Structure 1
């Protein structure tokens, strides 16, 4: 399990244990789908808002820029799941003035030395568009903050570099072949494998030593879920794009008024009468 996913489950467990009830539930989402946020707040069976889990050091959003070498400019890629906006335009304008440096950024990357307030505005807008109202992180202890106060809690930087895309579900046409590999490699039977909406879940009671294997041109891995002994099969992407990546580092402990605000929102939403 990757560190970020482990931390998401830690946050989900913390919220569930501290605030969960028969009426108030926290649902952990698989974040290989960047269109969804990490933790959904469900009150009386209705989705209310999302909480984004961010480790003490983490990435916090990204977008792909394609270099147009003939015209010496960077172009906001159609591959992006976010939309271009004023902040992306400011970043592109800055990078265009230093085209050669950024065009040769490679895997090491080049820092984007703009005022971090621009980065904060992009991050806040990005997560608000995904329905996020709060962020949960960890300094000395767990920290919960309104998304609008992101810059008060985190140092933010941005880099342009080559980035390999994330993971996703295996192709439907490959599932039978992959099930045979799982059976041979981990000794599981058909009753240990459950397929739900293209997601492949595997129950392995004895645990696993190596969760990765190659098949064809792809690498696959088993990602541990919050359910004991249950793993989800994922396929790593082979795509490599030049990407603006926002990185963050927490710098502030929990401010009491922000925790009180979070708890007041939970109370207010739980007290509403739904028809």
Structure 2
């Protein structure tokens, strides 16, 4: 009887696969089991009837969302903010990882790395509160410094200001996540064969050319994989950040699908409607990942599958 090569390979590396078991169980319980509840997007969900006892509604709630007068605005704002975060923020962790790698003082390097990813563990509530204290025109240190130095004549209302809204959103997102996202690139850089750097030095390459010809190609495959995964978040601009930073003055450019879904589902109790909008987001995300993955496979020979 012929043994399956895949099963044979799994058994040979069974201890390594055992380490994957907690992650597999976690994804199964929290990512796949909840898929059973997707059906409420197609039902008039009632708590008394449950998932299967609630009457069938078909595409009622999908039509309801697209008939909503602000649906196009919500989609446009979500894509714009997510697109800005992706195009501007994606390269920043790579730059930070390369710069940290060039620091030769190990103690200083570790200190900077710790300070860079520390904001990731701070909640958006704390971050936005800190921004309010720093950026307020009524005695805020940022405005006071700009006015006293002559760069501004009068204090500026940075928050709840359409002129500064995108800069605040993108800047705070980069500041909060750049350090944490750079860790995987630091790991990729650490795995680059040091003989490549030695060969580059022999050929007369300086530190900049070593970064360009050795370090960047060394992290290229990881960057492509992470970009493919990040493309799936184009329909998700971030719930907590936009909920806290958006206000009446910036509602026209700051209202996004994530906040709309939470508001409709939890705030108004329209669970079927919220599930329908969330499913729409997930479907677009799946299409984007498949499309970007296919393009990446043709262009760079690197893909998820």
TM-score in terms of structure 2 length: 0.22
TM-score in terms of structure 1 length: 0.23
Higher helix share: 2
Q: Which structure is richer in relative contact order (CA contacts within 8 A, separation 6 or more)?
A: 2
Bigger radius of gyration: 2
Higher strand share: 1
